[in-house]
Amino acid sequence: MIPPQVIFALRLNERRTFGNRSPQGIDMSIRVSVIGGAGSWGQHYVNAVVQHPGCSLVGFVDPCTERRDDLAGYYSIDRRFLFEDLSQQLDRTTPDIACIAVPTARNPEIVLACLEAGVRVLSCEKPAAVSLAESDRIVEASTHAGAIIGVGSLIANHVLRDAERWIAGGGLGTIKQISLPGGLGAHVSGDGAQRLSPIRVLSGSELRWAEG
């Protein structure tokens, strides 16, 4: 879903006065592009955008054209807004928001391309990058451009933090072992990170090694 603070920030004054359309008939809806929209998670972004009355989908970017076209047909998305790669989308128009749902290793290049094209609000799936240096680069570039970028974080979940305090206070006694049913998934830097992050928080310790 698009973060509510982003919806609040964009074109707030116009929306308060005119709703989605100005007196001149100009569409004031928030223009959104979903990059990686045909993927298992990206399609949730597509659904959120097309269902939101204040948004217009101006870019559905995915190299998997067959699946992309199937989803576009399901949501009745105009074919003018279908693109195989980001450069095609940015040559056509610069969206107000770019929702990025691609393999982790591609996040930095896509974020930087969006920033260079003038996109000033970005939503990026976690983790932001495969290394801390690349994550820092994303943050620095976004700050320099004056852009807002949001990256999901399990660690910021208040329920997780409540559990952390309860365990630290002796609620479970002494933790000697933590099992992870199902393992880390296919990619440690992708799904695996989502499994490891809560363990780090709840155990109060850092990961030293992993196998499997």
pLDDT at 160: 85
**Residue 211, pLDDT score:** 64
Name the percent of the chain in helix, strand, coil, to the closest 5. Answer: 45, 15, 40
DSSP reduced 3-state for 57 = strand
The span from the CA of 102 to the CA of 34, in Å, is: 10
Cβ atoms within 10 Å, residue 51: 10
Where is average pLDDT lowest: 18-22, 94-98, 199-203? Answer: 18-22
Task: Please say if the pLDDT value at position 136 is more than 70.
Answer: yes
Confidence at 159, pLDDT banded by 50, 70, 90:
confident
pLDDT band for 155, please (50, 70, 90 cuts): low
- Amino acid at the residue 124: C
pLDDT of residue 18: 38
Q: What is the pLDDT of residue 190?
A: 61
Alpha helices in the chain (DSSP H): 4-9, 12-18, 42-51, 65-74, 86-92, 107-117, 132-145, 158-168, 193-203
Tell if the pTM clears 0.85, that is, is over it: no
